[in-house]
Amino acid sequence: MRAKKFVFAIALTSAMSSMAQENDTVKVNAEDLVLQEVTVEAKNVIQKVDKQVLLPNKEQRKASSNGIGLLQSMQIPRIVVNPTDNSVKTLTNQDVQLRINGIEATQAEVMAISVKDVIRIEYHDQPGVRYNGAAAVIDYIVKHRDTGGLLMLDASNGVTMTGWGEYHLSGKVHAGKSSISLVSHYSPRDVYWTRTNEEVYNLSSGVVENTEKGEPTRFKNNPVNLGLTYNWTNGEKNMLNITLRDNMQFVPYAQSNRDSRLYQGTDSFSVHDHESSQSVSPSLDIYYQHNLPNDNHIYLDVVGTYISSRNDRRFEQTPLAGTQADTTDVRSAVKGDKWSLIGEAIYEKKWENAGLTVGAKHTQQWMRNTYLGDVDETVNMVTAETYAFAEVQQRVGRFSYAAGIGAMHTYIEQGGQKQSNWIARPQLTMSVDCGKGVFWKYKAYMSGYQPSLSAMSDVAQQIDKYQIRRGNPNLKPVMFVANETELSWQSKHVNLNLWANYSYDHKPIMEESYEQMTDGGQMVIRTYDNQRGFHRLQVAPSVQVRLLQNKLIFTVAPFANYYVSLGNKYTHTYFNPGVRASVMGMYNGWIFHADVTTRSNNLWGETLEYGEFYHTIGVGYNQDKWGFRVMMLNPFSAKGYSRETKDLSALAPNTQHAEMRDFRQMLILNFHCNLDFGTQRRDSGKRINNEDKENGILSGTK
């Protein structure tokens, strides 16, 4: 029989090595492989106890220009990639933690990944103890280079809405053991919202009903994210990674701004609500990794962050002709300063069929917020959180398990008040390979969280003529329990998946409202307290059909959310069914996609927040070094894009509706280019990353 040469792709090589031993590297020279007529098949999905190993195929790589695009082309069940802003969430609208070689990464850093460097993607659908309660984790395992460099540009702009854009620029160069990389991302928004509000105040002095009809009001945001990294790698022995980041937000016109007419019976008012803010948050991240013999690893990470923020707001409610009432004028200004220091250490040991991970993390925060305007007060707060954990994994035949235990200690000090609490955090994950493509997983865990700094601020901010938002320094940390299960079946052309989750928060921090006499008038006080409980039940099945050697993929993923919110003085239930459906075709660098996602709504406390409803259709072409895509957002929509929030309180229920008609038939053009040069290598990657983002300011926004 005539001999034939078979060239094995990197993905296939990685799949074989991953099945043999997860961290081994197998190097194959295609020119040295001369085989008889054989067929080599490998699954594009490899199930493990704590994750799925996903192997991108040739067409998916060709159709993608960066890490986010590759994720979209792979159509992972329960993962939704918004093609307009490149955000990544679960089907139930929870944030997905992104990582690169174990590093917790930003969206911009994932966009800086060259597709040809991706070995595999590890999808942690049931993340372990070390991931600190993440809903899901996407970890890109990539190879690195010895010499040369990479320059990437990705630019998207609205044609029918020129105030919308997404711009990414990144570069990386290598010299011996060192490399320097720069990542920048700019996402300007300059658009107009129209708002409608319906409010009822059931006060002891009488019932007040307001109907507010808005006019188009400007929203402008100019976020800039920068990251400069120096990396020194000493072969397979150790690695030092130093990153300087700065996340900047400049919002001259807030999204909540509105100009409107308010009607109250026969009276009418002009409403002008304007808020502006800005913040800078430079941080320094120093990471060290040391690899010991026999697959032992030590990871150390220290991050220092400073957040400087400024927020200014003015609310004016002015009576129009014929209305006998006073003008309401609310002014507030907040200057915030926050410093934080985060330290983490992890030890990891792996054997052939088992593993051990032990770690500890400490977070120390100092905050000073100065409230000006109608409120003149300074809030100082110190918080600390210490978390230690250990987790063991083992595989016995077709059965695998991971058992983890952790403990968290929280400390809060504000205005002479101190509180200290302990929370246990055990976790158990089990999985069974049932054979014939059937795989079952189960995860149960207990965890907790402490109050946000803004909710605990001992300050009150007036919202409008009738409402005041007040912090509560007496809030206590929350404990919750959760369990989830997943049953999947995969064949050559069909993947079926059923995921379900139930969780319960004990004494969660949720809102409440009460009436209080203030300055001679009745006011509604909006505040927070530890309520009775919160139940959450979520079910998300999915069906995926892959045809033409995975070049054509159809996905239908319905979902259902059921919430029970138990306040100290209220009970609310809500059921939300929905669906996500998509089709994606890929051939020789061309890509076509169409998708629709209905609203995934969320109830928390007394607030019902409606998610996004959108559909897109697009076509693009990708070469090795450049490509383009043409996409239309909401091509079949008559009303455009809308958002809605309902307050269900008995005292002061309201409905806030905002819409943007320019988001219908919105045409977007994208161009990208990737210029790389030099040889490649594989080296160790950073495994942990920490970042502080919350400024702790109590908002007076409506």
- The arithmetic mean of pLDDT across residues 346-357, rounded, is 90
Task: Yes or no: say if 558 and 579 are a contact pair by the CB < 8 Å rule.
Answer: yes
Band the pLDDT of 142: cuts 50, 70, 90.
Answer: confident
Domain ranges of the chain: 4-35, 45-215+227-374+384-677
DSSP state of 663: G
pLDDT at 26 over 50: no
Give the span between the Cα atoms of 30 and 25, in whole angstroms.
16
Give the span between the Cα atoms of 437 and 621, in whole angstroms.
34
Bridge pairing between strands 97-100 and 137-142: parallel
- The arithmetic mean of pLDDT across residues 87-116, rounded, is 85
| pLDDT score at 692 | 55
Contacts 24+ apart (CB under 8 A), 165-171: 166/84, 166/85, 166/86, 168/66, 168/108, 168/111, 168/112, 170/108, 170/111, 170/112
Task: Look at 33-37, 124-128, 224-228, 679-683 and tell me which has the smallest mean pLDDT.
Answer: 33-37
CATH entry, 45-215+227-374+384-677, from 2.40.170.20, 3.20.20.70, 3.30.450.80, 1.10.10.60: 2.40.170.20
Residue 284 identity (one-letter amino acid): L
- The arithmetic mean of pLDDT across residues 304-319, rounded, is 95
- CA distances, 466 to each of 506, 516, 682 (Å): 31, 10, 62
CB-side exposure of 483: number of CA atoms within 13 Å? 7
pLDDT digits (tens, 9 = 90+) for 465-480: 999 999 999 999 999 9
- The arithmetic mean of pLDDT across residues 206-223, rounded, is 94
| pLDDT score at 132 | 74
Other C-beta atoms closer than 10 Å to the C-beta of 31 total: 7
CB-side exposure of 556: number of CA atoms within 13 Å? 3
CA angle (657, 522, 698) in 5-degree steps: 55
| pLDDT score at 50 | 66
- The arithmetic mean of pLDDT across residues 441-468, rounded, is 89
- The arithmetic mean of pLDDT across residues 191-200, rounded, is 94
| pLDDT score at 326 | 87
CB-side exposure of 601: number of CA atoms within 13 Å? 17
